[in-house]
Amino acid sequence: MKITWQSLFPKCGKSEKHSCMIQNRVIPKQSSVSRVSISDFSSSSVLSEELSNSLVGSNLYDFTLAELKVITHGFSPSNFLGEGGFGPVHKGFIDENLRPGLKAQSVAVKNLDLDGLQGHKEWLTEVIFLGQLRHEHMVKLIGYCCEDENRLLVYEYMPRGSLENQLFRKYSVPIPWSTRIKIALDAAKGLAFLHEAEKPVIYRDFKASNILLDSDYTAKLSDFGLAREGPEGDATHVTTRVMGTHGYAAPEYMCTGHLTAASDVYSYGVLLLELLTGRRAMDRSRPSRAQSLVDWAKSSLREPRKLGRIMDPKLEGQYSETAALKTAALAYQCLGQRPKSRPTMRTVIKTLEPLTNFDGVTDAFVYTVSINSNEAKED
């Protein structure tokens, strides 16, 4: 039976003036350890509170719209953080008196734009995945709101924003080499957790704007609206409508719609290129041959001299050439045309971990100057 959003949330229509969640309640923990998925909601009689009760041990809060207006000061422009495919994001602050057991903290409140690129399905996907999957390198979902036509998500606040802003913003402070490796490793751990889950998850929209950074530059994956459960049993892939971000999407996925964990690995390789070069995955402002970062940079990844020419000039040479070469070789593997030739994210982690021991100072140019005996005597 086809799922409709009216069947999942029968009281959420635009003309209905009802809240689709039981207010002032925390979703309770369940004794079951099985994970609920979107495919579980196939009955036309499914109610929103059944969705709430199905989220195992999530401890998500279902906020009222009035509460979210209070903590964001009416979604004040002064609290505006940015806007993506989902909709606008505002900073807010929850004080200790808002809900029993909910600690005082800064939060980011994402408000679904009904005319935007994402919709109800992506909102529900986010609630289901982030409500059940918790990891130190995945952004924490604190709660949500579904009231009338409003769809909002409440996350932990990440002070440094997205990697995209930190890496590409015109007047941003350059990210040091050692920090770039740390970010790459953190993101790899987040992807590995998804791929190795009991029910594997394919992220499908891995990119710099979906990697958020805390005050210590710890990286966390965010925005799971396009995530999909991976193939199970003897299946080799799942087939989906092609979605994602141009420049990051794996070529076989773009051509066939066949989605695998290797599709995420390809996108990860693109991110490594961005960290190495300081260039965006796709930049229409550049000459045609240089607009696609993969097309422009991939051939230089295995040659030290060529690699030096494409490294991010903002680094000013302050990086370990050994670590850069190994990172570039890893990126080349991740970008392999054949999905089966790409490494797993577990292999990526094992490759990157030793590179964190290199400091940010170049080890590329070490010269020895010979001094003849006469010059030595004169000294």
The torsion defined by the Cα of 51, 134, 34 and 61, in degrees rounded to 10, comes to -30
The answer to whether 185 and 61 are in contact (CB under 8 A) is no
The length of the chain is: 379
What ranges in the chain are assigned the alpha helix state H?
A: 5-8, 48-54, 65-71, 120-132, 163-168, 177-195, 251-256, 261-277, 293-297, 304-310, 321-334, 345-352, 373-378
DSSP letters spanning 315-337: GTT-S-HHHHHHHHHHHHHHT-S
Tally of CA atoms within 13 A in the half-sphere of 348 that contains its CB: 35
Tokens of 195: 């791929």
Specify whether the CB–CB gap between 257 and 243 falls below 8 A: no
**Which residue among 62, 186, 205, 264 is the active-site one?**
205
Are the C-beta atoms of 278 and 314 separated by less than 8 Å? yes
According to DSSP, residue 2 is labeled -
Chain CA centroid to CA 305, Å: 32
Task: Output 210-213 pairs: Cβ under 8 A, ≥24 positions apart.
Answer: 210/162, 211/162, 211/163, 211/164, 211/183, 211/187, 211/271, 212/139, 212/158, 212/160, 212/161, 212/162, 212/163, 213/158, 213/159, 213/160, 213/161, 213/162, 213/163, 213/166, 213/183
Is residue 205 among the annotated active site residues? yes
Q: Which of 279, 267, 268 shows the shortest CA–CA distance to 314?
A: 279
Distance of alpha carbon 242 from alpha carbon 254, whole angstroms: 6
For 217, left (φ over 0), alpha (ψ -120 to 50), or beta? left
Query: 3-state DSSP helix/strand/coil percent for the chain, to nearest 5?
Result: 40, 15, 45
Residues that are catalytic? 205
